[in-house]
Structure 1
Amino acid sequence: MKKIKEIFTRVKELQHADHEDITDQLWQLICYSPKFPLRLQQQQLLDEATPFTLEVDDPHFSHSVLKFNGFIWGNGSRKVLITHGWSSKGADFIDLITALRTVENLQIIAFDAPGNGSSEGELSNLLLFAKATEAVIKTYGAPDVMIGHSLGVVANTIAIQQTGIKPSLLINITPMVNLKENFITTMNSADVPKAAQDKFFESFNKIFDVPTSYFNLADIYQEGVAVKHWLAYDKDDKMTPFAYMQELLNRHPVITSKEYPDATHERIIKDPRLIEDILELVRKQ
């Protein structure tokens, strides 16, 4: 957290300097993902897993191939793939993974996306998340169940489209629906003037060759990506305003959803209510 606080402070300082271009610092603010150390119980969970390392190309930030780490529990015929959200890691799903290990005939796969957890990368982005998800699918086979949280939901959606698979069950937990609005919220929290924000988005368009508005889950989502699609949310989620979630659900009524009041964006993956519901869904799958 120390580095992100330093970036935040630097952005606030530079924006008041005459003719200072703060775009480079805004990339740090938006794309640096703080890495939190493993807790003892998380390390013990990983010690019980079969580890693996795969690679993805990063043409936008490091301009190199990045290694990312993953973990497998069990050797059942039914595969469950878990994709974490921003500033997170596979082990943060310790409660859910522990619960899923009680279900017979499962193989559970989780990983740390590039720039997150134990994996390589100074800066990260949605496409690196999606590429890592694709790499896991191509290496270990199509999962029967895909679970994503926050940005991991969008990564899973893109990976499904890129690989052409069709999971039996797609579980989306508090998805990051509108990426551009999330960026704006982050920059507003650092009092970044609109002119500087506009310059950042111009830079984004140039680097990724698409506007930020392209990354809207309501637009990206396609009917038929999964046999069954289930979504969990907290209506008072501060990270993903319900208006965006409502747009997604209204435009795609095939998605079954359930609200978890007071779960919050970060803690919902540990919520006993959610974990019990996911277990039930997976058992029935």
Structure 2
Amino acid sequence: MTKKAQKSTQSLQIPKSILFIAKILERISPKLTTLFAARLFTTPIKYKIPKREWQMEEQSRKTKLYIPTIQKKIQVYHYGESEKKVLLVHGWSGRGTQLVKIADELVKMGYQTVSFDAPAHGKSEGKTTIMTEFIASILELEKQFGPFEFAVGHSLGGMSILNAIKQNLQVKKAVIIGSGDVIQDILEDFVKKLKLSVTYATLLKAHFEKKFGEPMEHYSAHFAAQEVKIPVLVIHDQNDADVSVKAAHHIHKHLEKSELMITEHLGHRKILGSEAVIHNITSFLNS
């Protein structure tokens, strides 16, 4: 693989100090280690807005929206002036302006995009969050600013869109990019990155199921996909180091109407700015 390809497929690295604490706790107490890992799993990293997103951030009409079911306020971005609206949903540790290249093209096509900083992300309230809060935000956004013609989501945003459709979000088509799938796989990948024993994935799952009172696998993307009847475009990179491409194939298999696009050497984030990917998205939405 070339240096350019290697650079594009790099995943986020956990700081050595966090790995050190996790290793110490693992030697002391499984319970403390599980609680520490659970806190990390639900705490996104807030990054500065890169220059490429400044224009969307500056030109958007910004509002704060209260989500009653989770009792948090989120930052909402309205980009463009059309009455025809497309919902954009970022992924973990992302921002409402992260899908800027896609948003720019949709505005050119005559749509307004509505996006948001998920709870504990960007300029929204909270320090911790989880997928159910992404879903709650999507459903409240539909109530307040919908209807939406389409929905486009990246990573956890893709999973959240499928689950929101399962919970009656009304859109004509959806696009998911680099979406995760099986919750157990996501937990196992997370504990591996923490350099903990894989058994902690099971302990984490039990912890969250006790806390929220429902099976986590009910939120797996392929599980939600079985109840999604609208056309869905599934996009994923063969070299995605954050989410295995097997997730895309598995989700695609469980959707009733879907198209699959597999790219190469774009990784988990660079894929959002690919001209070929954006062209495929617009063609799919226009067809």
Please tell me whether the aligned partners of residues 87 and 115 of structure 2 are also in contact (alpha carbons under 8 angstroms): yes
Uncovered stretches (5+) of structure 1, i.e. residues with no partner: 60-64
Aligned residue in 1 for 2:20: 9
2:245 aligned with 1:234: no
Please tell me whether the aligned partners of residues 188 and 198 of structure 2 are also in contact (alpha carbons under 8 angstroms): no
Aligned residue in 2 for 1:93: 99
CA-CA distance at 1:154 after TM superposition = 1.5
RMSD: 2.3
Letter in 1 for 2:136: K
Please tell me whether the aligned partners of residues 84 and 151 of structure 1 are also in contact (alpha carbons under 8 angstroms): yes
Of 114, 121, 141 in structure 1, the residue corresponding to residue 119 of structure 2 is 114
Aligned-pair identity (%)? 19
TM-score under structure 1 normalisation? 0.88
Q: Secondary structure at the match of 1:92?
A: coil
1:200/1:84 CA distance change after superposition, 3 Å: same
| Aligned residue runs from structure 1 range 234-253, under 5 A | 234-252=237-255
Please tell me whether the aligned partners of residues 8 and 29 of structure 1 are also in contact (alpha carbons under 8 angstroms): no
TM-score under structure 2 normalisation? 0.87
CA-CA distance at 1:269 after TM superposition = 0.8
Aligned residue in 2 for 1:78: 84
Aligned residue in 2 for 1:62: none
| Aligned residue runs from structure 1 range 18-57, under 5 A | 21-57=32-68
CA-CA distance at 1:58 after TM superposition = 6.8
Post-superposition CA distance 1:150-188 (Å, at most 9, x none): 1111211222232352x2221111211112211111112
Whole-Å separation in 1 of the counterparts to 2:15 and 2:72: 22
2:185 aligned with 1:181: yes
Post-superposition CA distance 1:2-37 (Å, at most 9, x none): 996544432122112257621221112211110101
Aligned length: 276
Aligned residue in 2 for 1:171: 175
Aligned residue in 1 for 2:5: none
1:50/1:250 CA distance change after superposition, 3 Å: same
Whole-Å separation in 1 of the counterparts to 2:189 and 2:14: 19
Q: Secondary structure at the match of 1:199?
A: helix
Whole-Å separation in 1 of the counterparts to 2:165 and 2:210: 26
Q: Secondary structure at the match of 1:269?
A: helix
Post-superposition CA distance 1:33-79 (Å, at most 9, x none): 101011234233211111111122576xxxxx211101112221321
Whole-Å separation in 1 of the counterparts to 2:15 and 2:259: 36
1:179/1:108 CA distance change after superposition, 3 Å: same
Q: Secondary structure at the match of 1:230?
A: strand
2:209 aligned with 1:198: no
Letter in 2 for 1:22: T
Whole-Å separation in 1 of the counterparts to 2:209 and 2:255: 27
Of 216, 233, 236 in structure 2, the residue corresponding to residue 212 of structure 1 is 216
Q: Secondary structure at the match of 2:97?
A: helix
Please tell me whether the aligned partners of residues 182 and 239 of structure 1 are also in contact (alpha carbons under 8 angstroms): no
Whole-Å separation in 2 of the counterparts to 1:32 and 1:5: 17
2:264 aligned with 1:261: yes
Uncovered stretches (5+) of structure 2, i.e. residues with no partner: 1-11
Aligned residue in 1 for 2:9: none
Whole-Å separation in 1 of the counterparts to 2:279 and 2:184: 33
Please tell me whether the aligned partners of residues 100 and 279 of structure 1 are also in contact (alpha carbons under 8 angstroms): yes
Letter in 2 for 1:74: G
Letter in 1 for 2:79: W
Letter in 1 for 2:44: S
Q: Greater shift after overlay, 118-127 or 253-262?
A: 253-262
